[in-house]
Structure 1
Amino acid sequence: MIVNNANLQSLRVGFDTTFRNAVSQAPTLRDRVATVVRSSTSETTYGWLRQMSGMREWIGQRQLDGIAEAGYTIRNKHFEKTVEVSRDDIEDDNLGQYAMMFSHLGDAAAAHPEMLVWNLLAAGFDTECWDGQNFFDTDHPITDENGVTTTFSNTGGGTGTPWFLLCTNRTPKPIILQERKPITFDYKDRPTDDNVFFTNTFVYGADWRGNVGFGIPQMAYGSKQALSATSYASARAALQGMTGDGGRPLGLIPNLLVVPPSLESAGRKILNSELGSGGETNEWKGTAELLTVPWLT
């Protein structure tokens, strides 16, 4: 193939199409647990409004609730992956191998935000959220109906393989996926580019800018106890009993049980089986949806 602008543009279009097809076809599960927030600056600070008290009968003047904010900043990070195409391969029409390479580039670009979301969820047992406690912790601070500071727990403890029961039908979801710049395909493929002169290669790359952070801890329960009907029942009761500041019941309905592949069988038995382990009717069948996440281990 003659290396000229017209042929290079044709190659670029082909590489870009292969890349974007791979991005669009890559499996994505992150939207099940993450709220996407578009960011317009290098970092975004979330002034989480602590849960205010509920409605009251209007007698006399309105009662004004104060707002207590807790600043939580998510700083965007820039990620990239870059590949080279040999000028010799273009001249020799030896391009078949590059279809797989650009397909892999698209897979890697699409998978990166996915991995950020699931890695953060898994790290919730030892990573702080906006209230200064680990996201999954036994002593998140909160006030009761009398305004007295108390605590709540959203973890079952344990030392085994982690699993998660979530409420994802409210906003925000347990994880925030902050996106500053969507997945982009760039290139340096002019014959006069320095990379061609010095390394005899044309360069193509993908990049994405953003980061992840935690939402409200009451929306999620993480456990490292063995996944059983008993531990599932405890997690479900904990989420349903969650309150906001002032003791207001949040009315959460857990709807998603997230497990790694190693716990899929246990999750199916709890949520899909007609009978329990002792032959009794399985009272937990259909109480949540099972989501098996290959990025979790």
Structure 2
Amino acid sequence: MLISNENLDLVFKGFKTIYTESFDATQSYKDTLAMTVSSNTSEEQYGWLGQFPDLREWVGDRQIKELAAHGFSIKNKKFESTVKVKRDDISDDKVGIYKPMVQEMGRVTKIHPDKQLFSLLSSGFSTTCFDGQNFFDTDHPYARTEMVTESVSNMQAGTESPWFLLDLSKAMKPMIWQEREKYEFQSITDPHDSRVFMTDDYVYGIRARVNCGFGLWQLAFGSKQELTAANYAAARQQMAAFAGDRGQKLGITPTHLVVPATLEARARTLLLSDQIEGSSNIWKGTADLIVTPWLS
């Protein structure tokens, strides 16, 4: 192949097509787990977290809710993945040998948010959220009245492999995926570029500025107890009782059970079997199952 700007552009377009097809074909839970927020700067503030809109009968003047100044923010991080392609391979029409590599770039880019989000979920027992408590904690502050503040738990303490119940049915989510600059497929093929001149290689890569953070703890429950029907039932019951300030019921209904691969068999038995230990399984079909290797 003649090395020219036109031909290099065709190679780039071919690589990008392979990358895009692989990206689109790869499963991701990002849009299920998190609400995506566009970012306009290096860091975004989420002082409004914890405010739940609700309707009341209009008697007298409107009652205006003031947004609590929690000071919670998410800083964007920069990520990249870069590979090199030998100029001689393009000149010798060996572009096809790079197809698996470019396909893999598409796959790992698509699952990158999953890895970040599930890792964040795992860290929820020791990572703070908007109210200053760990995301999974025993004493989230709850203002039952203007004068009375109580503690609410969204976790079960223990030493077993953690599992998680999530309500992912609402516009607001338990996690936030923040995008400053989306994943972009790029290349450096200019013969006047100093690196290309010195190495006789072309460079192709992915670049993004993104990050994730915790959203509403009320939409999630983390357990380090054994995954049993009894503990699963207790977690669902606690989530259903979650209320907003002034006793406003939030209507939380868990929709997904998230487990590591080590708990897949137990989770499938709990959610898919007709019977458990000879008794009718009343929890069959009560949540969708997500099994992921990214829970640390």
User: Are positions 1:286 and 2:285 aligned together?
Assistant: yes
77-86 or 22-31, which deviates more: 22-31
103-112 or 36-45, which deviates more: 103-112
Task: Check whether the contact 1:174–1:220 (CA below 8 A) recurs between aligned residues.
Answer: yes
Aligned residue identity for 1:256? H
Residue pairs, 1:1-297, within 5 angstroms: 1-51=1-51, 58-145=58-145, 147-277=147-277, 279-297=278-296
TM-score, normalised with respect to structure 2: 0.93
What per-residue deviation string (whole Å, max 9, x for no partner) do you get for residues 75-111 of structure 1?
1111111111111222233333211111122222222
Identity %: 45
Task: Check whether the contact 2:256–2:287 (CA below 8 A) recurs between aligned residues.
Answer: yes
DSSP-derived class of the 1:127 partner: coil
1:276, distance to aligned residue in structure 2 (A): 2.4
Task: Check whether the contact 1:173–1:219 (CA below 8 A) recurs between aligned residues.
Answer: yes
Distance 1:88 1:169 in 2: 53
Alpha carbons of 1:276 and 1:173: their partners in 2 closer, same or farther (altered >3 Å)?
same
Distance 1:283 1:184 in 2: 47
Distance 2:65 2:180 in 1: 34
What per-residue deviation string (whole Å, max 9, x for no partner) do you get for residues 233-270 of structure 1?
11101100101112221111111111112211111111
DSSP-derived class of the 1:206 partner: strand
Distance 2:79 2:57 in 1: 52
Aligned residue identity for 1:185? F
Aligned residue identity for 1:287? T
Distance 1:132 1:230 in 2: 30
- Compute the RMSD of aligned alpha carbons: 1.9
What per-residue deviation string (whole Å, max 9, x for no partner) do you get for residues 36-74 of structure 1?
111121111011254469655555555555442312111
Task: Check whether the contact 1:33–1:174 (CA below 8 A) recurs between aligned residues.
Answer: yes
DSSP-derived class of the 1:7 partner: helix
1:118, distance to aligned residue in structure 2 (A): 1.0
DSSP-derived class of the 2:47 partner: strand
Distance 2:123 2:220 in 1: 13
Task: Check whether the contact 2:87–2:200 (CA below 8 A) recurs between aligned residues.
Answer: yes
1:190, distance to aligned residue in structure 2 (A): 2.0
Alpha carbons of 1:143 and 1:190: their partners in 2 closer, same or farther (altered >3 Å)?
same
DSSP-derived class of the 2:137 partner: coil
Where structure 1 has 5 or more consecutive residues not aligned to the other structure, the ranges are none
Distance 1:10 1:224 in 2: 53
Where structure 2 has 5 or more consecutive residues not aligned to the other structure, the ranges are none
1:16, distance to aligned residue in structure 2 (A): 1.3
TM-score, normalised with respect to structure 1: 0.93
1:125, distance to aligned residue in structure 2 (A): 0.9
